[in-house]
Structure 1
């Protein structure tokens, strides 16, 4: 990531909360952010696939999922996100935030020479993926939210995960990457 990107990601997250009328510590729903950005989020079920095709694409049960999400450009040159509806709510939120981060960062699809992808697939380089990973996680759990949740909200990591529709792994990732664990001496498990 470029120098200063992490701070920029925090500012972007706070800006969207303000635009949506949320307090800095309130959860931000990926679906609402997509709507605010005029990006349609759809499920593959509406694509007319039969059950067998859907099982291959999405996984055949709640513990086995296929892919997570992808961003496409429709025939009107509008971005849309197709996401896996068979994953947990926390995973869906994370996936949508990740795809929105690609769009917000205006990442371009660059296909390496010799690689052939169908028109609906994307290929982002490692630099773009690291930006999308960080911004997406920041949209879901900004540093200020975590500090508020831990200090004022007196929430455990599990309570934070539930309140922000995040996985426990996401909560731990954000606590570790933001330096909160060093800043605050004690965080309840």
Structure 2
């Protein structure tokens, strides 16, 4: 990611949290953010495609979490795999909304001719970072890590997965501060 971009995304996340009315210690309502920005969210099970719902609910469970899908020249909707846990859905939606808010271009194709996922690594990193910052701000994660709060407790408090909580706690720098203070 370009120098200074994480700082800019942290600031953007703070502003978006204010827009939705969430303090840094509150869970963030990504569904409210999508609505605020006029982004339609469609649950995969609502699609008239029983084969896809069955495949992604069984053998392909881990293959599809969600995507922003163009529906017109100027519009799109976000499809979320509602067979995943609500925590995973919130993370997925946060990621897809982040693409919109960052004004990332989206392609009509989700995979190339060989069936491989089409993605721009830098844009994906930005969307992942902004989504993480929305769901668990760095400042809050740092304070929780310094206090030694377990990832499972953080996950419950912020309504995110334990994996997301661990990631955010780890990159916050709080664990290192806690270790230095203990020495």
TM-score between the two structures when normalised by the length of structure 1: 0.80
The 2-side partners of 1:178 and 1:151 are apart by 10
Equivalent in 126, 133, 150 of residue 128 of structure 2: 133
Aligned equivalent of 1:94 = 91
SS at match of 2:179: coil
Equivalent in 57, 62, 69 of residue 59 of structure 1: 57
The answer to whether the Cα contact below 8 Å between 2:88 and 2:161 also exists between their aligned partners in 1 is yes
Equivalent in 148, 164, 167 of residue 161 of structure 2: 167
Q: Tell me, yes or no, if structure 1 residue 156 matches structure 2 residue 150.
A: yes
Q: For residues 109 and 123 of structure 1, do their structure 2 counterparts lie closer, same or farther at Cα, with a shift above 3 Å needed?
A: farther
Question: Which segments of 5 or more consecutive residues in structure 2 lack a partner in the other structure?
Answer: none
Q: CA RMSD in A?
A: 2.9
Aligned equivalent of 2:37 = 37
The answer to whether the Cα contact below 8 Å between 2:142 and 2:169 also exists between their aligned partners in 1 is no
Question: Which segments of 5 or more consecutive residues in structure 1 lack a partner in the other structure?
Answer: none
Could you give the per-residue CA deviations for residues 64-107 of structure 1, whole angstroms, max 9, x where no partner exists?
A: 44410000222372231000000011111111111111111111
Could you give the per-residue CA deviations for residues 144-184 of structure 1, whole angstroms, max 9, x where no partner exists?
A: 232454568x8432111011111111111111222122123
SS at match of 1:162: helix
- Structure-to-structure mapping, 1:49-88, within 5 angstroms: 49-50=49-50, 52-56=51-55, 58-60=56-58, 64-75=61-72, 77-88=74-85
Moved >6 Å (runs of 4+): none
Q: Tell me, yes or no, if structure 1 residue 184 matches structure 2 residue 174.
A: no
Please identify which structure carries the higher helix content.
Answer: 2
SS at match of 1:172: helix
Q: For residues 142 and 46 of structure 1, do their structure 2 counterparts lie closer, same or farther at Cα, with a shift above 3 Å needed?
A: same
